[in-house]
Structures are given as structure tokens and as C-alpha cells.
Amino acid sequence: MASFATAGRLTPLVLALGLAGCQSWAEMRGRLVDEPGCEPVRAEIYFEPDSAAIGPEAQALIAEAARQAEGCRLQHVEVLGLADAAGAPQANLALSKARAEAVTAALAAERLAVSDVRLLAAGEAGAVTPQGELQPMRRRAEIVLRLADPD
């Protein structure tokens, strides 16, 4: 019987602590759903073989990347052009550079201030694994928009 009496006295305390925890959880939950700061925006733009032309799907991805950067200050843009291992190494390097330049031009067309662009061309570097296997889906350019909170 003594244990029931003790439990009866502890019940209000347990309820009070539980309710106090609810208030803290509500406050914490509000902080968890706040909008994040200006995080980097990343996108991969794929190309047809031996092409640096921006297709409609690629243009839509570039437009979406620009939309995600709205409201943030653009610090700089990184564009890495890649190519697969088919063809001559110099041709692949030139193709990867043309892809990076095409993506940079498409970003500028979306009214992104791309004054600080780090344009890189990797050619076919990394297109073959150490085991001699071809890396799939190397016909692309990788975009990173480095953003900061507005001043």
C-alpha cells in the first residue's frame, strides 16, 4: 500500500515535468523548421556524346539551380566539365572545356552574376577505373554555386 501512496504523490510531479517538456519541445521544433541559410547549390548537367549543346532538360536544371540561389549572395561559381574515355585525350579535354563554358553561359543567361567563375576542364581524367573499367555517365558538367547570406 505504501507504494501506491508514493506513486500518488509523484503523479503531479511527473505530469508537471511532462508538460514542461512539451513547451521546450515546441520551442525546439520551431527552431528545427526554420529556413536554412544559403547553402551551396549543386547540379549535374548531362550531354549527348561528343556534344556541348545545352538541351531543354539541362536548361531546366540550370534554371532550377538559379532559382535555388535566389535571395542569397553569389560568392562564386564552380563549373567542372567532364568527358568519357572515347576519343583522343586532347579532343576530350577540349570537349570538357566546351561543356563547362556552355554551362557557364547558360548560368549567365539565367541572370546569375557569374563574375567569379572557376571553370575547370578534366577531359577524360578519371574516366577509367584502376581496374580498367569505364566510368559511366561522364558526359557531364558539374555546377556548384557557392552562396552566402545576403548582406
pLDDT at 10: 56
Dist CA 137 CA 60 (whole Å): 19
| Residue 31 CB burial class (10 angstroms; 0-12, 13-18, ≥19) | exposed
Angle between helices 89-109 and 56-68 (to 10 degrees): 60
pLDDT at 124: 83
Nearest to residue 100, comparing CAs of 116, 118, 85, 88? 118
16-54: pLDDT as tens digits: 545 555 555 455 445 454 456 799 999 999 999 999 999
pLDDT at 33: 46
69-108: pLDDT as tens digits: 999 999 999 999 999 888 899 999 999 999 999 999 999 9
Taken in order 112, 117, 118, 123, is the CA torsion positive or negative?
positive
Residue 132's pLDDT band (cuts 50, 70, 90): confident
Q: Which option is the CATH number for 41-148: 1.10.287.110, 3.30.1330.60, 3.30.565.10, 3.40.50.720? A: 3.30.1330.60
Q: Which amino acid is residue 53, in one-letter code?
A: A
Domain boundaries, the chain: 1-34, 41-148
